[in-house]
Amino acid sequence: MPEADGSVGGGTPPAPPESSGVDLARVALRAAKEQARARGDAAQQKKQARRGGGLRSGARADGRDPLPLGAAISRLITERGWEAPAAVGGVMGRWPQIVGDDVAKHCVPQKYEEDERVLTVQCDSTAWATQLRLLAPRLVARLNEDLGHGTVRVIKVLGPTGPPQRYGRLRAPGSKGPGDTYG
């Protein structure tokens, strides 16, 4: 329908109708209810915070229930990402069952380097060190079977350590012999 100036419906939009007293009262009442609800929610949250966060124990298990010690330790290990170091520590405790009593009497695990995935083993004689070096590939396979693939890549075998060499009668205090001069 054309307007008085000849244009077709493209002029200024019509002004909204004036709000009557009843409409203003409804808007004010709605705003007051929302404010009261917000104040009530805030007061309820304060009360719950004072009583322990509003969480209540029920008949069913939840995260706040007491756990057996083994389960709590397992949960802590999992949360912190300590699975591999804990597993390798278990291997060090079960070393005789893994390698056998003969080898365990002469070869002892010393440390595990998680970044390089290297298990260091100390042997009490060069003969046992040689024997363990020959057994290393099978031992790595056995350990990875127990711990998970790729946990141990290399077994570093150390031979026996002897007493410090003492040359001559006279020695400087704290000296380690002729080798301590060269680093």
Coil, strand or helix: which one is 106?
helix
Helix (H, G, I), strand (E, B) or coil at 56: coil
CA 20 to chain centre: 64
pLDDT averaged over every residue in the chain: 76
Supply the pLDDT for residue 156.
92
In the block, which residue shows the tokens 């001559």?
168
Whole-model pTM: value is: 0.48
More confident residue, 177 or 45: 45
- Pairwise CA distance, residues 89 & 31, whole Å: 64
Q: Mean pLDDT over residues 79-104, rounded?
A: 78
pLDDT at 129 over 70: yes
> With contact defined as beta carbons under 8 Å apart, do 135 and 103 qualify?
yes
Tokens encoding 69:
């010690």
If one counts every other C-beta atom within 10 angstroms of the C-beta of residue 88, the result is 22
pLDDT of residue 183: 41
Highest mean pLDDT among 42-46, 61-65, 93-97, 106-110: 106-110
Which two three-digit tokens encode residue 26?
């409804």
